[in-house]
Chain A
Amino acid sequence: EAGVVQSPRYKIIEKKQPVAFWCNPISGHNTLYWYLQNLGQGPELLIRYENEEAVDDSQLPKDRFSAERLKGVDSTLKIQPAELGDSAVYLCASSLAGGGNTGELFFGEGSRLTVL
């Protein structure tokens, strides 16, 4: 069974440029998360989807970040324009409906963003 797939694995851009990350969750997983992880820190939640609905986006900096999950499967996280401080690893995770209370989160390998 395929795991959570993210692309690209690495992205280097100049500040003020846009960037987009794509995530394909495990088949059948209704819940999808985007996390941000800075070096030496734990993952920080950005947004959580239940199917196509963003049920918690309170941690998403909406002035420059946006996300969508069309048809309740794949998801895209976009940053426009990127700032130096956005350099981090962006992790996507999925789980069965109910989120962490019912079991584990499955993470992708992450997309490492470097903003110059």
Chain B
Amino acid sequence: SQKIEQNSEALNIQEGKTATLTCNYTNYSPAYLQWYRQDPGRGPVFLLLIRENEKEKRKERLKVTFDTTLKQSLFHITASQPADSATYLCAYDQTGANNLFFGTGTRLTVIP
């Protein structure tokens, strides 16, 4: 069955640097991927959606890429700030039935 993996449980970076988070999937290419941010004790908050025919999507300091050859999505935060510290989740439609399945998340810590 299709799997989605975020291959870093935790990532620590220095303030001002670019954080890059990875989301890999197996088997077939999903029609789209979504990225969410989750703070402790809170529900996930939507950040970006990228479709399989889109190579890149940007929103302010955020950038998402979608490489169907590598079966991978990369999530970048440029000029990172301590306020960016959170868990970032990628999600995809596993079955094509509009059910969103989530990866395990990457916990990002931006060090001042």
Q: Which residues of A are interface residues toward B (Cβ below 8 A)?
A: 4, 31, 33, 35, 40-45, 48, 55-56, 91, 93, 98-101, 103-110
Contact = CB atoms under 8 A, between A and B. Distances in A.
Contact of A109 (B43, B91, B98, B99): B43
Given A42-B105, A93-B43, A105 B100 contact: yes
Contacts of B41: 109-110
Range class of the B interface residue count: 20 to 34
What does DSSP make chain A's interface, helix, strand, loop or mixed?
Answer: mixed
13 contacts: A41-B104, A41-B105, A44-B102, A45-B99, A45-B100, A45-B101, A99-B100, A100-B91, A101-B32, A104-B46, A106-B46, A107-B43, A110-B42
Contacts of B9: 40
B44 interface: yes
Interface of B: 9, 31-32, 34, 41-46, 49, 89, 91, 93, 97-105
Contacts of B89: 42-43
A67 B36 CA distance: 25
A40 B93 CA distance: 21
B3 to A, nearest CB: 12
Nearest to A3: B43
A100 B98 CA distance: 5
